[in-house]
Structure 1
Amino acid sequence: MVTYFLIVDSCNKQQQFKMIFLYGLLNDASTSTNNAEIKTNSLSQEVTFPEGEINDKTPVVFLVGWGGSTLKQLAKYREVYLQKQCIIITQSQQAPGQHLLELPDAPVKQTRSYELVRHMAENKLTNNPIFFHVMSNTGFHQYRNLGKTLMEQNRKIVGAVLDSCPAWFNFERIMDAFFELLRAKIPLPRSVLYCFAITDGNKFPWPKLYLYSDSDTVIPSASVKASIEQAKVTSAVRSHNFLSSLHVQHFRDFPERYLQECTTFFDSCLEKHFDSEKTIQQCKL
């Protein structure tokens, strides 16, 4: 179990916060406060803050990496949102396929989500717009659990970028994952539960941008296209097919187009959010 302790030091009257994440850990873990970082056997998190003023309009971005990713590999994605003056919470899953070793609604996953949401509340981030950027099925399952928790707390989620995910696993794909990712036996009932978890995760009401490729052999484009059609029922959806890039390699192979897609979508989500907030305030007058 990981417990997060978030301390806020108000630096001046302009509410420029110096925020430091300190972590109390159980089991085998190592810590570093230089970059507000936590490392456990399977999960690493890093919190990055922009220069200048932080207030209730500062976006909070959850950047969730693919299975086997490192914080260093995710740094270039983090910089995209740091340029947008966001608070970025970066999560990397150390072990590929780790999400399949835990049930979709396992208590440990719910505890992680509730702890993070609680500390956001303690540090006056309850009214900040929240944005997701998640990669592969590992990131998608983290996104699903955290998204459900945030919705229960009526937080302001404005949008999500879904890079190389999700996969709709049929029985053949479950066996592919068995050999390709885990190299360990996957209990079949647990894998079936993940099929329902994926469809559940596509139904969130906020806008979504799906980034995928016909050349992805891990998450087939047909699977992402099926998710897009399902998501259209409950939310606004954008998508881009990079055609030739491999799994979670779209940014590497097409940096300019990737940045354009992400930043344009991010800006539109925030603009829609703040327009809506302005309308609500005017109606209250």
Structure 2
Amino acid sequence: MIFLYGLLNDASTSTNNAEIKTNSLSQEVTFPEGEINDKTPVVFLVGWGGSTLKQLAKYREVYLQKQCIIITQSQQAPGQHLLELPDAPVKQTRSYELVRHMAENKLTNNPIFFHVMSNTGFHQYRNLGKTLMEQNRKIVGAVLDSCPAWFNFERIMDAFFELLRAKIPLPRSVLYCFVRVVMYVYKLYWRILYLTGYSVAEKNREAITDGNKFPWPKLYLYSDSDTVIPSASVKASIEQAKVTSAVRSHNFLSSLHVQHFRDFPERYLQECTTFFDSCLEKHFDSEKTIQQCKL
């Protein structure tokens, strides 16, 4: 891996960045200045479908200020995530590649924290979480921003429309007609899968259930005004997650999909940093207790 030294999104401190090459995704690992050891937290920052590393920089800065190692993952190809099946082998391959890069950088004993956005981030989080659990890694918590939601064609169409509107300067009516045609083909694609015995809705439901039932603490950030991921879906996930883990949540009420940080920066930072600190404190208290028991 090639290390690059430079400024992070106009930050006052310099960082070491290493580019990670995996199939179809843009990924980067950022190291804080100063000493790094097995107590340095590793944060997996997974963006929404269509996000870029530049758009995720302000989220990365939150954890860089906490002296964390941040592995940032974005998927820039518009709409590509919509074509991937919930249990697509490529998702698992990405997880194994990331875990391998952690081992190469001697990060196998570090506490791990997640910050993921939208359903795209949630599905990658679910696969990566399962892979890390299989290897008995120390996962201390997860922030779930604008996710998850159950499978719904109309919801997918809304998400695709918003993605195109942000990237292509065309009238809404033109984009909407284009999306309608694309979604017709998209429905046909999933229908063919269903006729061959593959239920996308069922696989998506299984994936969301798996992610909600991970044992580590979770913070759900959502909004009643999110038209892509309805707050009702997030609230249902919160109730499901309470069965197996400690759960916190905050409803921003008026912000749109993955726009909570933009609209309410102070409250967003407060929620994330307070939760992160509590997860790390609980983890290190637990580690201390284990060491005392061994003595």
Q: Does TM-score exceed 0.5, indicating one fold? A: yes
- Secondary structure at the counterpart of residue 125 of structure 1: coil
CA distance in 2, matches of 1:193, 1:274: 51
Q: Aligned-pair distance for 1:194?
A: 24
Q: Aligned-pair distance for 1:159?
A: 0.3
Aligned residues: 267
CA distance in 2, matches of 1:123, 1:275: 26
Q: Which segment is superposed worse, 27-36 or 168-177?
A: 27-36
8 Å Cα contact 2:158/2:228 also seen in 1: no
- Secondary structure at the counterpart of residue 255 of structure 2: coil
Which runs of 5 or more residues in structure 2 are unaligned? Answer: 179-206
Spell out structure 1 runs of 4+ moving beyond 4 A.
19-34, 38-41, 174-196
Q: Aligned-pair distance for 1:152?
A: 0.5
Cα separation, partners in 2 of 1:203 and 1:191, compared to 1, 3 Å: farther
Deviations 1:76-112 (A, max 9, x none): 1000000000000001111344333222232222122
Q: Which segment is superposed worse, 257-266 or 120-129?
A: 120-129
Q: Which segment is superposed worse, 169-178 or 127-136?
A: 169-178
Q: Aligned-pair distance for 1:189?
A: 32
TM-score scaled to structure 2, two decimals?
0.77
Which runs of 5 or more residues in structure 1 are unaligned? Answer: 1-18
1:260 maps to 270
Q: Aligned-pair distance for 1:168?
A: 1.5
Among candidates 153, 166, 171, match of residue 184 of structure 1: 166
Cα separation, partners in 2 of 1:178 and 1:255, compared to 1, 3 Å: closer
Indicate whether 1:100 and 2:68 are aligned: no
Q: Which segment is superposed worse, 113-122 or 235-244?
A: 113-122
Q: Aligned-pair distance for 1:36?
A: 2.1
8 Å Cα contact 2:7/2:14 also seen in 1: no
CA distance in 2, matches of 1:134, 1:60: 14
8 Å Cα contact 2:15/2:32 also seen in 1: no
Cα separation, partners in 2 of 1:21 and 1:202, compared to 1, 3 Å: farther
8 Å Cα contact 1:98/1:138 also seen in 2: no
Q: Which segment is superposed worse, 73-82 or 39-48?
A: 39-48
Among candidates 144, 149, 154, match of residue 126 of structure 2: 144
Cα separation, partners in 2 of 1:216 and 1:264, compared to 1, 3 Å: same
8 Å Cα contact 2:52/2:76 also seen in 1: yes
Give identity over the alignment, percent: 100
Whose helix proportion is higher, 1 or 2? Answer: 2
Among candidates 251, 257, 260, match of residue 241 of structure 1: 251
8 Å Cα contact 2:41/2:113 also seen in 1: yes
Q: Aligned-pair distance for 1:43?
A: 1.3
Indicate whether 1:220 and 2:230 are aligned: yes
Q: Aligned-pair distance for 1:281?
A: 0.5
Deviations 1:13-72 (A, max 9, x none): xxxxxx856999999999999842357784111111001000000000000111111111
Q: Which segment is superposed worse, 256-265 or 161-170?
A: 161-170
8 Å Cα contact 2:8/2:14 also seen in 1: no
